[in-house]
Amino acid sequence: MHPKLEITPQTALIDVPRRIALHGLAAGQPVTLQTRTLRGPQVEWSSKARFIADAEGCVDLTRDAPVSGSYSGVSAMGLVWSQVQHPEDASHDPFAQEPSAALTTEVRALLEDGQVLTGHFVQQLAAAGVTRREVRDDGLSAVLFTPATPGPHPVVMVLNGSGGGINEPRAALYASRGYAALAVGYFKCPGRSDYISDTHLEYFETALQWIHRELQPRDGFVALSGQSRGGELVLLLGSLFPDMVKAVIGYVPSAFVHCAQNACDPAIGREGPAWIFRGQPIADIWTHNRTATWEPWDNGPEPRRHTAAMLSALQDPDAVERARIRVERIDGPVMLLSATDDGSWPSSLYGKMVKDHLAANRHPFPVEHHDWEGGGHAILFPYVPTTHLFYAHPVSKRLSTSGGTPAVNALANEQSWIAVQAFLARATAAQAERAKARS
């Protein structure tokens, strides 16, 4: 029997784990597996690990741990999340070149006798039939992904964090799982400012009105999904526009309104407001705060942790109360996804504060808080590299760590997406019941 490299499924959505296996080896035969994924003309991510064949001459990554290499322990997709970037100083965004395009990973198996077996697999962000359309109506800078299935569909509005831009990958994946998804850019995208400073929340009100008018969501269901500053923003928008929002998903969110911070316009400064509503800045936790200091961030030990400065602001109870997001006004279920080693801000503590406040106010809808012990700020979705723990902020260019470890961050990526899909399924079913009861 000749050695054979098997990868199944070869082509599927990015959230589908692959089975990578070798057959036809000699018992106890060592083999090295290498991967290579191009993410741009001069940027590649790669990994390698060494395995020992079992008594039947097989290696199966769904059950076998490597004896050495880029990762340890049993992980079917370990060769993906353990990939490292070359060159190291390239953009750490794995989707920077074509945000919703499929990713192709080459796999090579190197045998001791010099044989090289080759294979590949394709990770799709958009399922067959999903359509992409740029939206510039009403001054919006957005991209709409629509499922292949007949509508009307429930809708998810997707918001990025302090890196700005338009989060097409997540929107494409939501659409691939049955939700019309509008990825809305609010800075660092066409027609918008390069900075988060003085972002007017009426812009998102316009986006929500456009969704309800143009997409006519099934049962009126619109969920908000946001990451980091976008996680703060979705809680804020859910509290301001409860008539148009029926569920909120906050990835590493904040319990409070924050100032512009690292994404600020340098002419205004990092303590200037991020959000403006009805002509007035929304009070943030840094405003008239008696304990807040940037010292732990500006002069702290390397690698810099933005969280240290954020914790200083929590020592002033009056400022905390002024800046608290009024999450009790949200008219639907809330999901919070956080991690205990978040280097950007204390999302674990923030998530607990939001959950406790909702419980104290007897929020009539389900509230879920998923918190990954030892995980960092970059909770994305499976299966992407998680080794890029240190980065230059896309706006300020300041170096810092997002926290966590590659293995825990990979686990959070996988488990969070499973939880989000289950949350949305329950939320849409509950909204259908509410709509039926009103009719």
Handedness of CA 216, 217, 222, 226 (dihedral sign): negative
DSSP letter for each residue of 26-76:
PTT-EEEEEEEEE-STT-EEEEEEEEE--TTS-EETTT---SEES--S--T
Inter-residue long-range contacts of 188-193, CB under 8 Å, 24+ positions, other chains counted: 188/163, 188/164, 188/394, 188/395, 189/141, 189/164, 189/165, 190/136, 190/141, 191/136, 191/139, 191/141, 192/141, 193/265
Active-site hit among 342, 371, 388, 400? 342
Dist. CA 39–CA 41, nearest whole Å: 7
Q: Which residues of 238-249 are buried (b: 16+ CB within 10 A; e: fewer)?
A: bbbbeebbbbbb
> Cβ atoms within 10 A of the Cβ of 334, count?
26
Overall residue count recorded for the chain in this entry: 439
Q: From the candidates 92, 306, 370, 377, give the one annotated as an active-site residue.
A: 377
Tally of CB atoms within 10 A around 194: 12
Contact 130, 116 (CB under 8 A): no
Is residue 318 annotated as part of the catalytic site, yes or no?
no
* C-alpha dihedral sign at 16, 370, 425, 153: negative
**Is 265 labeled as catalytic in the residue annotation?**
no
Choose, from 46, 82, 176, 228, the residue flagged as catalytic. 228
Of 154, 143, 131, 298, the residue nearest 218 (C-alpha) = 154
Is 228 designated active site?
yes
Report in angstroms the alpha-carbon separations of 309 from 96, 224, 302, 343: 29, 28, 14, 10
Give the Cα separation of 22 and 33 in Å (integer): 10
Would you please indicate which residues are annotated as catalytic (active-site) residues? 228, 342, 377
